[in-house]
Amino acid sequence: MGSVVWLVPAFLTTVYRFGAFSVVRRCMKITTGQEYAAKIINTKKLSARDHQKLEREARICRLLKHPNIVRLHDSISEEGFHYLVFDLVTGGELFEDIVAREYYSEADASHCIQQILESVNHCHLNGIVHRDLKPENLLLASKSKGAAVKLADFGLAIEVQGEQQAWFGFAGTPGYLSPEVLRKDPYGKPVDMWACGVILYILLVGYPPFWDEDQHRLYQQIKAGAYDFPSPEWDTVTPEAKDLINKMLTINPAKRITASEALKHPWICQRSTVASMMHRQETVDCKSMLACVSSRKQEIIKVTEQLIEAINNGDFEAYTKICDPGLTSFEPEALGNLVEGMDFHRFYFENALSKSNKPIHTIILNPHVHLVGDDAACIAYIRLTQYMDGSGMPKTMQSEETRVWHRRDGKWQNVHFHRSGSPTVPIK
């Protein structure tokens, strides 16, 4: 990073999240030693419109300063790259934390949604509509008990004037889209409150109010506001909680509850007397909350393991079936260059990997998968490679790797690879 305030890219090792042209890595402020998260955007491939979106995201994030929003500390532009330096949040996603809890009650759900509403209210007071409220963008500041919920990722956020309603384009995640967006009507701040209603519903029972594998039927459900509170899981939920959901999932955006109004709702502001303290084991046990996400994350881990197995076996044919022909890679062997295509990799398969008869064993540690929509994902992990050197002594190499995957025709393909640390081929 060009700024003298932050450490250089060589130290930006841990990948947390990613987008089409960006990764988020850990960095450190030189003057204090405090760690932050740097979103690194490759601007060389951005269109003029993408540049405008980046400028808008930075402008919006600079404006928002709230304990329940991931804060932007610096914005640095260099030739070919732009860096956005945010709070480092290490607690993971809120929903993953809830599933891991031993005790979880309606009152806990109330506390969670209150923090989300506080962040949304701050956005709306500053003329910002997030447009992509969903579980993946709700993070915990740390792994400590009671850590603050923080709203992240303002890549789709827009600026509005007051209660302005306009057609800002189709944006968001299918299950969290509001009826007015699906109808392509003018919209504004109420779209965030609809998404809050979907999130609150999931927080209470572990599955969404609208669901269908067919997207057209899903959208029909949403436009009709076709949800209910089925028995038995909703029987123990208080009427006040259901009332707040109904006010959030009101089809008419003009009649939908606002963030400031929701914060004054009895289920929020009188939590200790209104929200139930009973443990909701069925919610914690409900795999629906993470089933779809978890299964896709497991798919990414599995296909990554298959790719590494092909490398260990020196099987270039299997490797090419898993990789996109235009695979881009950034690794030590390329001497700082971004390499495109398979020829660079073919050399190692034909001249080193395939001719090695020494056993190679690989362990993937701390895999972290981030999903982007239904057909893109990134996995970051530590790779330990065990092998025997020329003298017969066991050796271990370590590297930190990131792979970007796209799903095409139902098949996951590796489209980008980044590695820091040891080379692919064990040194003889």
List the catalytic residues: 132
Q: Return the closest-CA partner of residue 176 out of 421, 318, 373.
A: 373
DSSP 195-212: HHHHHHHHHHHSS-SS--
Looking only at the bridges linking them, the beta strands covering 360-372 and 138-140 are unpaired
* 367 phi/psi in degrees, rounded to 5: -65, 130
In angstroms, the CA 415 to CA 52 distance is 25
Q: Which two tokens stand for residue 373?
A: 């929509």
Q: Which two tokens stand for residue 369?
A: 């998968």
Question: Measured in Å, how far apart are the chain's first and last C-alpha atoms?
Answer: 34
What is the CB neighbour count within 10 angstroms for residue 394? 9
Looking only at the bridges linking them, the beta strands covering 411-421 and 323-330 are parallel
CA distances from 45 to 48, 51, 116, 160, 331 (A): 10, 10, 34, 28, 20
What does the DSSP 8-state code read for residue 214?
A: S
Q: Return the closest-CA partner of residue 191 out of 229, 226, 231, 164.
A: 164
In angstroms, the CA 8 to CA 27 distance is 8
* 332 phi/psi in degrees, rounded to 5: -55, -40
Q: Which two tokens stand for residue 75?
A: 């914005």
Which residue type occupies 400? Answer: E
In angstroms, the CA 418 to CA 110 distance is 41
CA-based diameter of the chain, in Å? 76
